A = this chain, B = another copy of it.
Amino acid sequence: MQMPQPNLAILARKDRIVARLQEVLPQDAVIHDSAETRAYECDALTAYRCPPLAVVLPRSTAEVSAVLRICHEEGVPVVPRGSGTSLAGGALPTADSVILGVARMNHVLETDYANRLIRVQTGRTNLSVTGAVEADGFFYAPDPSSQLACAIAGNIAMNSGGAHCLKYGVTTNNLLGATVVLMDGTVVEIGGAHMDAPGLDLLGVLCGSEGQLGVVTEATLRILPKPEGARPVLIAFDSNEVAGECVSDIIRAGILPVAIEFMDRPCIRACEDFARAGYPDCEALLIVEVEGSPAEIDEQLARIAEIARRHNPVELRESRSAEESARIWLGRKSAFGAMGQINDYMCLDGTIPVSSLPYVLRRIGELSKEYGLDVANVFHAGDGNMHPLILFDANKPGDLELCEAFGAAILRLCVEVGGCLTGEHGVGIEKRDLMTVQFTPEDLEAQLRIKDVFDPQWLLNPAKVFPLEATASRRAA
């Protein structure tokens, strides 16, 4: 992956830039020693690394504003960073950039149960948002796999989803308001604390904009009452296509489970070897979870079982206890770890219309043969967010490149059936060059113009999202 040349004039001014940052931040909040900046050289897409010029770790919106004002005046690019769990390189530094990490901004500012909301600093981790309200019977719905580590800032930047977003929507459906610092240091409030916030709704534009438009420092999030209970059923099939059809039929019947997770044979086998969850020997496995009162759970599971039986499942195992539920989820939740045990892998992230699931799975199988690389499929099937894991050997020359080419082919397939390049990981640097597959030059130009309005000097999160050639003239200007 090509990165732009660093601006040498900025590197030459490093001491002065660091000194100015130290004027507005406490001593421990500016990291500039090259041994220490190394910790920020990559995010979870570890194949690409580059230490930044410096790292700042502000504690408030006012400090973020002061940092951005200085960087704006000095013409220094800024890479906003949540917890650095991006799988798409969304927080990869350039050598001439300052990393603005929000990890120390992790306070709960307000909980308001009567209005069903919580206001937090965006460095707070996803799971600890729920942690702050669960004793009172509430939870924050979006649940990315990395929820123990990932920050709300990153969730907003990537519009993160999770296993439960089939029922509850993704971040954009649960974000009510945001405090945003623009590149020139201006602090802007978007949205508000309740349902009909005044003015045009710019939250949608902000959410999923991958740190291109501003730095979100505080967020007002919708919290929901915790359901009384939840229970999964495990359904095994002897073909991917039939499992895909079963998913479509469940949705079509008007049932809305909390989650429908899908695993194919390579994934099932790896999980089983790793976690010993007792998964059956089969081609495809669905975990369908429903929630509500005990009576409602029984009724929904009965309807799901009836639909599944029409597709002749190899096995249908309804959980009857909390232990059994945990065992059913154990394999799925350790899927990524399991794959990492047996292979190097690249985790993709694309979306497709749910109804094209069977076709897409068949095509991925064919592509796997063409490229000679195995692929394990584990994904949120209910809403069509796929996470194919391509297995490769990092020590074999050319295998990473082959893997990237295979990944690109799968993402092109997603676009071809009417889906899109990214569900929740973002474009980052990973899918930058595939943007032209999804968008016409006119579409891209419209997006670049929105960036122009928010960040006219193109200093925020450089080299992400847009193809480098498309942004070269803008960065030069």
A interface with B by C-beta (< 8 Å)? 112-116, 136-138, 159, 161, 165, 169-170, 172-173, 192-205, 207-209, 224-226, 228, 248-249, 251-256, 292-296, 299, 351-355, 383-385, 415, 418-424, 438-439, 443, 447, 450
Contact = CB atoms under 8 A, between A and B. Distances in A.
B251 A355 contact: no
A349 to B, nearest CB: 9
Nearest to A222: B169
A225 B255 contact: yes
Given A170-B196, A200-B208, A424-B196, A115 B251 contact: yes
Contacts of A165: 195
Contacts of A114: 248-249, 251-252, 353-355
4 closest A-B pairs by beta carbon, nearest first, are A204-B204, A225-B254, A295-B295, A201-B204
* Number of identical monomers bound together in the oligomeric complex: 2
Given A194-B383, A195-B383, A200-B450, 4 more contacts: A197-B420, A200-B208, A201-B204, A226-B254
Given A115-B355, A204-B201, A225-B255, A196 B450 contact: no
A298 to B, nearest CB: 9
Given A114-B354, A114-B355, A205 B194 contact: no
16 contacts: A113-B254, A138-B254, A193-B353, A194-B384, A197-B420, A199-B438, A200-B209, A200-B447, A200-B450, A201-B205, A202-B204, A204-B204, A204-B205, A225-B255, A228-B299, A292-B292
Contact of A195 (B198, B226, B351, B447): B351
Nearest to A112: B355
A245 to B, nearest CB: 9
A353 B192 CA distance: 10
A224 B354 contact: no
Contacts of A113: 251-252, 254
A137 to B, nearest CB: 4
B252 A193 contact: no
Interface centre among A115, A195, A198, A254 (most CB of B within 10 A): A195
